[in-house]
Amino acid sequence: MAPVQRMSTTMLKTLRDDPADAETASHKLLVRAGYVRRTSAGVWTWLPMGKKVLENVSRVVREEMDAIGGQEVLLPALLPKEPYETSGRWEEYGDLLFRLKDRKGAEYLLGPTHEEIFTLTVKDQCTSYKDLPVMLYQIQTKYRDEARPRSGVLRGREFQMKDSYSFDTTDEGLAESYRLHREAYTRIFERLGLDYRVVSAVSGAMGGSASEEFLAPAAAGEDTFVDCPACDYAANTEAVTVVVAPADPTGHGPVEELDTPDTPTIESLAELLGVPASATLKNLLVKIDGEITAVGVPGDREVDLGKLGEHLAPAVVELVTAEDFAGRPDLVRGYVGPQGLKLRYLADPRVAPGTSWVTGANKPDTHARNVVCGRDFEVDQYLDVVVVEQGDPCPRCGAGLEIGRAIEIGHIFQLGRKYADAFGLDVLGPQGKPVRVTMGSYGIGVSRAVAALAEQTHDASGLCWPREVAPADVHIVAAGKAVQIELALEIAEKLGAAGVRVLVDDRAGVSPGVKFTDAELIGVPTILVVGRGAADGVVELKDRRTGEREELAVTEAVERLT
Ligand code: ATP
Ligand code: MG
Ligand code: MG
Ligand code: MG
């Protein structure tokens, strides 16, 4: 038994025009079809139809999490500052955190992810090795003050995430919890009808499979991944743009410090670097009139030699030398040679292991993002930075790699003992001695998955939902005459009684053309038209995806759909 949803009483306003600021298909269509409504930048309201789709995604996630033994909980989104100070993330997260104070001045944050609080919860609830393993999950609202909230619900500042955490006493236990999650995720994304790839999210140089991402290929995605057509190698370029190359496989030769001319000018500098005087260089350290003004510290600052030449014509531009680094631990040192940029990281207290970094790359106009200290380089180490391109050899089998854009829909991670160490999470072991717990954390972007589905499945006429997530199974369009509406409601009741989820367009005074257009836009998988044939008990069934139509007697149509 499924309740029949009548459009005449549903709050659902479709729009003919795309929202002005929308660039991606999911953003345009979810707004136009009346699924979501923008409340403020990156903050969205889920309208009745949208909430149904969101709920369907949540249901699938919940069923598969329960199937691997996950226990659902609900932690607060409003979190005290202290645990995040203990883990270091109060600082590390920087501007991404929404921070607030209560009336007494105590500091809080809105949770971007919940490792800290889950660790504390388990520390409180589990005391013996017999209490483990434990797998906890929640489907909850997360907050991240993203620098560029865009693409509608694809990247929100408030969004729905399923996050789960596993707690084990042994490394083997953690590996098993991770494996269970990986399988559950595979089932979830298959059931949702998403096309996806599982890719390595950590540098190949580190080895292991400590972290993998589930990517949904789509042009609107913000992630780039490489995929080997010949073997099963696939990785996020966040993990492979940077290749630590101690043996210098790029053939650039040894790193050399450049000689600084005595009285350098823009021209002499450009000549020295082997680039045109109009070139734009990144991560180049220069002194202008003795001041280090454009430096390759993390960030996106760049030196436009042409502009420098125009605006600072009389200025003396020189390369920074070793002495300039003395007492300046904030500087990251770069060398530009004819073949490209070489980087050297000096001992910098801010470059703590695990810190994510932006560096130059040995290609013009490129930056390598997310190089991680300790993973891709050591402090005070030279490295070659290699940007992977289409056709580059696969590190596993040598075949030409393919590069694609994708949406990160899930991320699984073997955390190990990082948080257990920070919070002293031990349980009493079999020998009566405390054992440090090892953890995994696993996320799915539940609201993002709705947008990813819209991206992958839409067509020129609108949304096109896979049945599992669709807001209804059948969309009945009653052309407009009273008898047609009557028959449509009759069919709707019959289908509803049989458990079929029905949306029926019973609006009076709306033209059939508008109703058909709306049905295509809304994207329910089967459209049943009650039109001219109604008097003879004949209706039309249309498959939203393939466009195939068929005329049937009412009884036959009902039979077919139940
Ligand atoms: P991204 O690289 O897109 O910023 P992330 O790596 O920061 O994502 P995680 O911390 O791994 O995200 O969070 C787990 C999951 O939550 C992601 O795989 C993604 O599906 C989802 N997610 C993350 N940020 C957002 C967001 N701003 N809006 C919607 N979903 C998000
Ligand atoms: Mg992010
Ligand atoms: Mg990511
Ligand atoms: Mg991630």
- pLDDT value at position 291? 62
Task: Tell me which residue has its CA closest to atom 31 in ligand 1.
Answer: 445
If one compares 523 and 311, the residue with the highest pLDDT of the two is 523
Cα separation of 231 and 523, whole Å? Answer: 36
Ligand 2 center to residue 355 CA distance, Å? 15
The answer to whether residue 285 scores a pLDDT higher than 90 is: no
If one compares 237 and 258, the residue with the highest pLDDT of the two is 237
Cα separation of 150 and 128, whole Å? Answer: 46
Label residue 439 exposed, middle or buried (CB < 10 Å: 0-12, 13-18, 19+).
buried
The answer to whether residue 330 scores a pLDDT higher than 90 is: no
Closest listed residue to residue 255, CA positions, set 342, 378, 160, 357: 342
Q: Which of 129-143, 164-178, 246-260, 492-506 has the lowest mean pLDDT?
A: 246-260
Query: Which letter does DSSP use for residue 114 in this model?
Result: -
Mean pLDDT on 110-118: 97
Mean pLDDT on 70-89: 97
User: What proportion of the chain, given as a percentage, has pLDDT over 90?
Assistant: 63
Cβ(113) to ligand 1 under 6 A?
yes
The pLDDT confidence band at residue 312, using thresholds 50, 70 and 90, is: very low
Instruction: Tell which one of 141, 408, 444, 450 to mutate to probe ligand 1, the residue whose CB is within 8 A of the most ligand atoms.
Output: 408
Q: Which of 137-151, 185-199, 225-239, 477-491 has the lowest mean pLDDT?
A: 225-239
The pLDDT confidence band at residue 234, using thresholds 50, 70 and 90, is: confident
Which uninterrupted H or E stretch holds 176?
helix 171-192
Ligand 4 center to residue 411 CA distance, Å? 5
The answer to whether residue 78 scores a pLDDT higher than 70 is: yes
Residues 459 and 159 sit within 8 Å (Cβ to Cβ) = no
Ligand number with the minimum distance to the CA of 216: 1
Query: Which amino acid appears at position 196 of this protein?
Result: Y
Residues 98 and 143 sit within 8 Å (Cβ to Cβ) = yes
Query: Which letter does DSSP use for residue 380 in this model?
Result: T
- pLDDT value at position 242? 39
Please give the model's pTM, rounded to 2 decimal places: 0.79
Q: What is the ipTM of this complex?
A: 0.99
- pLDDT value at position 148? 84
Tens-place pLDDT, residues 465-498: 999 999 999 999 999 899 999 999 999 999 999 9
Ligand number with the minimum distance to the CA of 239: 3
Q: Which of 243-247, 352-356, 414-418 has the lowest mean pLDDT?
A: 243-247
Task: Tell me which residue has its CA closest to atom 24 in ligand 1.
Answer: 155
Cβ(161) to ligand 1 under 6 A?
yes
- pLDDT value at position 388? 66
Q: Which of 125-134, 290-299, 505-514 has the lowest mean pLDDT?
A: 290-299
Which whole-number Å values give the CA distances from 181 to 26, 57, 72, 220, 273, in the listed order?
28, 17, 14, 27, 50
Ligand number with the minimum distance to the CA of 451: 1
Tens-place pLDDT, residues 213-228: 999 999 999 888 888 8
Instruction: Tell which one of 116, 161, 225 to mutate to probe ligand 1, the residue whose CB is within 8 A of the most ligand atoms.
Output: 161
Ligand 3 center to residue 408 CA distance, Å? 6
If one compares 203 and 393, the residue with the highest pLDDT of the two is 393
The atom number, within ligand 1, closest to the CA of 144 reads 27
Mean pLDDT on 330-345: 39
Mean pLDDT on 325-331: 52
The answer to whether residue 262 scores a pLDDT higher than 60 is: no
Tens-place pLDDT, residues 6-41: 999 999 999 999 998 899 999 999 999 999 999 999
Cα separation of 388 and 232, whole Å? Answer: 17
- pLDDT value at position 92? 87
Q: Which of 93-97, 376-380, 399-403, 418-422 has the lowest mean pLDDT?
A: 376-380
The answer to whether residue 119 scores a pLDDT higher than 60 is: yes
Query: Which letter does DSSP use for residue 258 in this model?
Result: P
Task: Tell me which residue has its CA closest to atom 2 in ligand 1.
Answer: 408
Cβ(144) to ligand 1 under 6 A?
yes
| Token digits of residue 128 | 């013996």
Ligand 3 center to residue 22 CA distance, Å? 22
Ligand 3 center to residue 146 CA distance, Å? 12
Cβ(409) to ligand 1 under 6 A?
yes
Count of alpha carbons within 13 angstroms of residue 64, beta-carbon side: 21
Residues 34 and 12 sit within 8 Å (Cβ to Cβ) = yes
Cα separation of 209 and 486, whole Å? Answer: 59
Ligand 3 center to residue 194 CA distance, Å? 18
User: What proportion of the chain, given as a percentage, has pLDDT over 70?
Assistant: 72
Task: Tell me which residue has its CA closest to atom 22 in ligand 1.
Answer: 445
Task: Tell me which residue has its CA closest to atom 1 in ligand 1.
Answer: 408
- pLDDT value at position 392? 75
Mean pLDDT on 114-122: 98
Bridging pattern class, strands 340-344 and 333-337: antiparallel
Q: What is the mean pLDDT of the chain?
A: 81
Neighbours of 182 (CB within 10 A): 17
The pLDDT confidence band at residue 59, using thresholds 50, 70 and 90, is: very high
Residues 220 and 151 sit within 8 Å (Cβ to Cβ) = yes
Of these ranges, 137-141, 195-199, 386-390, the one predicted with the greatest mean pLDDT is 137-141
Mean pLDDT on 505-532: 97
For residue 465, the SS3 value is: coil
The phi, psi pair for 507, rounded to 5°, reads: -70, 130
The phi, psi pair for 382, rounded to 5°, reads: -85, 145
The pLDDT confidence band at residue 247, using thresholds 50, 70 and 90, is: very low
Cα separation of 401 and 204, whole Å? Answer: 15
Task: Tell me which residue has its CA closest to atom 11 in ligand 1.
Answer: 411
The answer to whether residue 287 scores a pLDDT higher than 90 is: no
- pLDDT value at position 371? 53
- pLDDT value at position 272? 57
Cα separation of 272 and 189, whole Å? Answer: 53
Which whole-number Å values give the CA distances from 79 to 94, 124, 125, 258, 261, in the listed order?
16, 17, 19, 51, 56
Closest listed residue to residue 562, CA positions, set 499, 505, 502: 499
Which whole-number Å values give the CA distances from 233 to 108, 198, 230, in the listed order?
42, 10, 8
Cβ(404) to ligand 1 under 6 A?
no
Ligand number with the minimum distance to the CA of 149: 1
Q: Which of 137-151, 170-184, 457-471 has the lowest mean pLDDT?
A: 137-151
- pLDDT value at position 398? 79
Show Cβ contacts of residue 492 under 8 Å, excluding neighbours closer than 6 positions. Answer: 4, 6, 476, 502, 504
- Find the farthest-apart pair of alpha carbons in the chain and give their distance in angstroms, rounded: 96
Which whole-number Å values give the CA distances from 114 to 212, 273, 350, 442, 450, in the listed order?
19, 48, 24, 11, 22
The pLDDT confidence band at residue 140, using thresholds 50, 70 and 90, is: very high
The answer to whether residue 104 scores a pLDDT higher than 80 is: yes
The answer to whether residue 359 scores a pLDDT higher than 70 is: no
Bridging pattern class, strands 78-80 and 98-101: unpaired
Residues 183 and 177 sit within 8 Å (Cβ to Cβ) = no
Burial of 525-556, coded b for 16+ CB within 10 Å and e otherwise, reads bbbbbbbebbeeebbbbbebeeeeeeebebee
The atom number, within ligand 1, closest to the CA of 443 reads 14
Mean pLDDT on 306-319: 48
- pLDDT value at position 381? 45
Ligand 1 center to residue 408 CA distance, Å? 7
The answer to whether residue 517 scores a pLDDT higher than 80 is: yes
Show Cβ contacts of residue 9 under 8 Å, excluding neighbours closer than 6 positions. Answer: none
The answer to whether residue 386 scores a pLDDT higher than 70 is: no
Closest listed residue to residue 230, CA positions, set 445, 427, 476, 395: 395
The pLDDT confidence band at residue 552, using thresholds 50, 70 and 90, is: very high
